[in-house]
């Protein structure tokens, strides 16, 4: 397999096992239809879908890397760390992710109580109707409830008016530490990647602190071409990857056919001047 930057790799998406609406099998078929050659399913804080994804990739003749997207608290903010190519039977990682998921239900009940204060009732039960994995009730499920119950016209409006810092429905939460998230991935034989760096409201100094601390813990990659970045950010983070000597990754962050702007496999290719993360994971690919 040719592992150069032009490979159609899509190494970031979500299934019903976290906050996506499709099964791993349906996602594999969409990835195949989108021309994906190397795929990874990266459910939030959960690797329970990996065995199904490996089998579904094989059934579609696609190469596969194991994946997850870990929620991390860094400097009082939430940062997402994608793990790729790890052993999905790693006991340390399974236990660490289980602990990271813990507390989501209590948080969701507090979110619902906060929404009730502004007159939106029944949000916990409402969100639960969209949840595929009882341990993974997320803001996305609340967002789908708020749209379908007529409180907002679409998901972006939900995140402008609710569920984010300072707005009704927001509840502060402590996720994994950066050190633990990077450690679990790395010790299980994988590579840790900073997800969608352009999405955090960091100053240049804060971003520098994130990248240097991430690398000090053994992190090696950064998403450059992602559905969460603008075209200008594709260039900005390509330069960041080169400046810090980070491996570059590419992924749509696909969640749902109705909500996602970017279909699996359809983003521009990674820039030729970058070293792709998959070039360093050749021996971790499931064929």
Q: Are 111 and 170 in contact (CB under 8 A)?
A: yes
Q: State which of positions 4-43 bind Mn ion (CB under 5 A).
A: 19
Q: Measured from the CB atom, is 159 or 244 closer to ligand AMP?
A: 159
Task: Select from 50-58, 158-166, 191-199, 269-277 the region that touches Mn ion (CB under 5 A).
Answer: 191-199
Q: Measured from the CB atom, is 16 or 281 closer to ligand AMP?
A: 16
Q: Measured from the CB atom, is 45 or 69 closer to Mn ion?
A: 69
Work out what residue 260 binds among Mn ion, ligand AMP, none; the CB cut-off runs from 5 to 8 Å by kind: none
Minimum distance from CB of 238 to ligand AMP (Å)? 24
Site string for ligand AMP, 45-84 (x = CB under 6 A): --------------------------x-------------
Phi/psi for 106 (5° steps) reads: -60, -40
Residue for token pair 């990674």: 270
Q: Residue 87, SS3?
A: coil
> Which of residues 10, 43, 45, 253 is near Mn ion by CB under 5 A?
253
Q: Measured from the CB atom, is 62 or 108 closer to ligand AMP?
A: 108
Q: What is the CA radius of gyration of the chain?
A: 18
Q: State which of positions 14-33 bind ligand AMP (CB under 6 A).
A: 19
Dist. CA 251–CA 253, nearest whole Å: 6
Q: Are 68 and 43 in contact (CB under 8 A)?
A: yes
Nearest to 202 by CA among 83, 79, 82: 79
> Which of residues 138, 180, 226, 260 is near ligand AMP by CB under 6 A?
138
Dist. CA 156–CA 160, nearest whole Å: 6
Q: Measured from the CB atom, is 69 or 241 closer to Mn ion?
A: 69
Q: Measured from the CB atom, is 164 or 212 closer to ligand AMP?
A: 164
Note whether 141 binds Mn ion by CB under 5 A.
Answer: no
Q: Are 227 and 250 in contact (CB under 8 A)?
A: no
Per-residue CA distances from 218 to 72, 180, 183, 190, 272 (Å): 15, 11, 7, 11, 25
> Which of residues 15, 133, 140, 260 is near ligand AMP by CB under 6 A?
140
Work out what residue 139 binds among ligand AMP, Mn ion, none; the CB cut-off runs from 5 to 8 Å by kind: ligand AMP
Which DSSP state fits 270? P
> Which of residues 23, 25, 52, 159 is near ligand AMP by CB under 6 A?
159
Q: Residue 276, SS3?
A: strand
Q: Are 145 and 123 in contact (CB under 8 A)?
A: yes
Residues that bind ligand AMP (CB under 6 A): 19, 44, 71, 138-140, 155-156, 159, 255
């Amino acid at each position: 397999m040719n592992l150069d930057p032009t490979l159609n790799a899509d190494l970031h998406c979500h299934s019903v096992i976290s906050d996506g609406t499709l099964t791993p099998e349906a996602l594999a078929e969409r990835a195949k239809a989108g021309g994906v050659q190397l795929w990874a399913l990266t459910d939030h804080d959960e690797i329970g879908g990996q065995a199904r994804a490996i089998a579904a990739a094989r059934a579609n003749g696609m190469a596969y890397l194991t994946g997850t997207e870990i929620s991390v608290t860094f400097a009082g903010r939430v940062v997402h760390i994608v793990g790729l190519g790890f052993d999905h039977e790693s006991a340390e990682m399974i236990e660490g992710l289980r602990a990271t998921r813990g507390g989501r239900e209590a948080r969701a009940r507090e979110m619902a109580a906060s929404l009730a204060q502004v007159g939106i009732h029944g949000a916990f039960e409402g969100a639960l109707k969209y949840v595929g994995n009882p341990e993974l009730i997320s803001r996305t499920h609340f967002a789908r409830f708020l749209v379908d119950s007529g409180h907002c016209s679409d998901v972006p409006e939900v995140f402008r008016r609710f569920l984010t810092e300072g707005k009704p429905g927001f509840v502060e939460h402590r996720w994994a530490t950066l050190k633990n998230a990077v450690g679990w991935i790395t010790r299980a034989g994988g590579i840790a990647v900073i997800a969608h760096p352009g999405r955090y409201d960091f100053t240049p100094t804060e971003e520098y602190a994130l990248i240097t601390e991430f690398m000090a813990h053994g992190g090696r990659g950064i998403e450059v071409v992602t559905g969460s970045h603008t075209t200008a950010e594709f260039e900005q983070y390509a330069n960041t990857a080169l400046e810090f000597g980070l491996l570059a990754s590419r992924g749509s962050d696909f969640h749902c056919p109705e909500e996602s702007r970017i279909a699996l496999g359809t983003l521009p290719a990674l820039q030729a001047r970058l070293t792709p993360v998959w070039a360093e994971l050749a021996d971790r690919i499931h064929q």
